[in-house]
Amino acid sequence: MMHNLNRFFYLALLFAGSLSAFSSNWGQWRGPNFNGSTDAGSLPSKWSKTENVSWSTALPGPSAASPIVWGDHVFISSANPETDSLHALCYDRNSGKLLWQHQVGNRHRRDDRSDFASNSPATDGEVVVFFYGNGLMFAYDFDGKQLWNRNIEEDFGRLAYGWTPSTSPLLHEGQLILQILQRDVPARGHGEPGQNNDSYLLALNSENGDKLWRTIRPSKAKAESLEAFTSPVPHEHNGRKEILVAGGDAISGHDPNNGKELWRWGTWNPNRIGHWRLVPSPVAGDGVILACAPKRDPIYAVKAGGKGRLRDSDLAWVSRNERDITSDVPTPAYYDGDFFILSDVRRFLSRVEPKSGVVKWSIETPGRDKFEASPLAADGKLYLMNFSSDVVVVDAENGKILNEIAMGDQGEQYSRASIAASNGQLFIRTNKTLYCIGDRG
């Protein structure tokens, strides 16, 4: 009996240690909890471009892709405007030394709003996957050896987006899940001519890239409103696992085993306005799932656990009476039992109670620059970054601004990469530089 108890406690400690190791990494765009937060602590609130900097390194070029951190590795997706090329890079987490890099494609952009490297990589500690807005996908091991690659456009049709696609892949429970929510007809010459273009969810085997399933996701949206720049998010409620998808005038939950739609809600665009593309991804917490309608429209809180076609009675609340609670680009964070919603168009950051929509505090974001990077929530703080790469540190408890740090170069603009956190350190990507801030825990 004593032997069995000792074995039980050993396994419990081992399991707890594995959870701690997982939570200390930042393997996906929205972190270990898939909601912009991490349980890791001891994160800095004071630094500069030269003080409390563990290391910094020059990058090939700008990108909205966030740093991805796992153990001693930092993965970066980047464009290089000088050589008009796309790159997958890996840096040593302890020194900032470049461990390996691969040029994965030529032609780094097609419009002046973004580039093909705006999609964040994803890793599960075994494989790291890079996906690019031109449909290229590459998987590597941590030593930089290519495991497999695919061209989504060659396999499933040319992507029909008026702007540059920027959804980030999801690595979860052995599956690589990708969503393509696009126009039904070619847009600005992009897409398959002479036929309808389907929006779909795609699951690949993360070890070899083989297709596991592909499910069509229909939509009644029109024109540009069919386009979504959101990313799929895993969610579990009352034992039911699902993949959350937002775009095409709707938010939906899907069975991760086959992509089958479990539920759907969407009435924020009843007139089917044709220019309501969607950017913020879903975020869930405390039995509620947020859908951020575009432009200056409200945020809708959907009750988790629904089935089939949901009605407005299945909403927990709508932010119509709170004019500052909206988001056109940043994805909200869920942390410490509340949502933290950053409004780029109304320039406010708010702490919101999930079940009621009650605003606990709301502050105006400082300065005149827009904040389009999604907020990081950790260690009792919120970390925001604006177009000029100015980082703002906010006390999560009361909304007090703790610090403002200029991290960009003179003339920096359109910086949109979200900040990552891991083991007591922050990883900040400006248009030209990757910074590791603070001491490793």
Domains for the chain: give ranges and CATH numbers: 2-437 (2.130.10.10)
Report DSSP state, residue 369: S
- Residue 364: its H or E element: strand 359-364
Confidence class for position 110, pLDDT limits 50, 70, 90: low
What is the arrangement of strands in the sheet containing 401-406, beginning at the earlier edge strand?
Answer: 37-38, 376-378, 381-385, 390-395, 401-406
Instruction: Tokens for 282, please give them.
Output: 């879903």
Instruction: Report pLDDT for 192.
Output: 82
Residues paired with residue 205 on neighbouring β-strands, in sequence order = 175
* More confident site: 109 or 177: 177
Least confident interval from 55-69, 87-101, 286-300, 314-328:
314-328
Burial pattern 418-439, b for ≥16 Cβ within 10 A else e, equals bbbbbbbbbbbbbbebbbbbbe
- Please give the Cα distance from 435 to 433 (Å, whole number): 6
222-262 tens-digit pLDDT: 999 999 999 999 999 999 999 999 999 999 999 999 999 99
Q: What average pLDDT score do residues 81-99 get?
A: 96
Confidence class for position 177, pLDDT limits 50, 70, 90: very high
281-316 tens-digit pLDDT: 999 999 999 999 999 999 999 999 999 999 999 999
Confidence class for position 6, pLDDT limits 50, 70, 90: very low
Q: Which of 215, 110, 85, 223 has the alpha carbon at shortest distance from 165?
A: 110
Instruction: Tokens for 69, please give them.
Output: 């951190």
- Please give the Cα distance from 351 to 362 (Å, whole number): 6
Measured in degrees and rounded to the nearest 5, phi and psi for residue 6 equal -60, -40
329-350 tens-digit pLDDT: 999 999 999 999 999 999 999 9
Sign of the four-CA dihedral 27, 32, 38, 42: negative
Confidence class for position 13, pLDDT limits 50, 70, 90: very low
Instruction: Tokens for 252, please give them.
Output: 């939906």
Instruction: Report pLDDT for 1.
Output: 45
Instruction: Tokens for 267, please give them.
Output: 């009435």
Q: What is the pTM of this model?
A: 0.93
